Chains A and B, each alone.
Chain A
Amino acid sequence: MNIFRLFGDLSHLAAIAILLLKIWKTRSCAGVSGKTQLLFAVCFITRYIDLFLHFVSLYNTEKVMKLIYISASVFTCYLIFFKFKATYDGNHDSMRAEFLIVPAAGLACLINTKFDAIEILWTFSIYLEAVAILPQLFLISKTGEAETITSHYLFAQGSYRALYILNWIYRYHYESHVDTIAIVAGVVQTILYCDFFYLYITKVVKGQKIVLPA
């Protein structure tokens, strides 16, 4: 464990908490992509499938974190698609999720470290996570704006990815650890946030809301 990974994971937890709090406090999921949240839930379930295959005793932080990620993302989906369904902006959340799921699944079967069910599910979750934010970014580009709290959520989510890149540089340097699939997918994912980072720094940090030109 190094400081980049620690802060990356904490940032990831913060992102999940910010989104849940936003939905819970405002009793609304307006501006939030249900598809992105559904894709993240699929990512966590397929990545941490080992939790369901073996008896889980909560003796280490990692397992607790995995369970938090899975339950929080499933709960977020429950809020969006059931409890606060009336506030869900389904018409604007129009990116086709299958266009992300199918290529991620296909690529996971073709490019993986080992052709084994658990390993392919892990690889699929990595590829899917790389593009899972796209429906959310697409929704913002369609509505032309993002609430400040949604921007904070995206910033925390993007920071988590950027910190993971620093973590990989650190691990390559000090531990000779290289996981090519995770690194390539992680870099792709981080690049997707760059445009948003620019808007966040030029608008949100200065107290303005993100409004895109029509």
Chain B
Amino acid sequence: DNGQLFHDEL
């Protein structure tokens, strides 16, 4: 877990 979740949609 790198802490930041990645939301790749706009």
Which A residues are within 8 Å of any B CB, using their own CB? 5, 9, 12, 62, 65-66, 69, 113-114, 116, 118-119, 122, 164, 167, 179, 182
Residues in A with CB closer than 8 Å to B7 are: 122, 179, 182
**Cα distance, A113 to B5, chains bound together (Å):** 9
Residues of B in contact with A (beta carbons under 8 Å apart): 3-5, 7, 9-10
Q: Interface SS of chain A: helix, strand, loop or mixed?
A: helix
CB <8 Å contact, B9 and A182? yes
Asked if A12 and B9 sit within 8 Å, CB to CB, the answer is: no
List B contacts of A113 (CB < 8 A).
5
Per the bound structure, the CA–CA distance linking A182 and B7 in Å amounts to 10
B10 touches A119 (CB 8 A): no
Residues of A within 8 A of B10 (CB): 9, 12, 62, 65-66, 69
A119 to B4, CA, bound (A): 8
Residues on B with C-beta less than 8 A from A12 are 10
- What A residues does B9 contact at CB under 8 A? 5, 164, 167, 179, 182
Bound Cα distance A10, B4 (Å) = 28
Interfacial chain B residues near A69, Cβ < 8 Å? 10
Closest Cβ–Cβ distance, residue A81 to chain B (whole Å): 25
Which of B3, B4, B5, B10: most chain A CB closer than 10 A? B10
Distance, CA A122 to CA B9, complexed state (A): 11
Task: State how many angstroms separate the Cβ of A178 from the closest Cβ of chain B.
Answer: 12
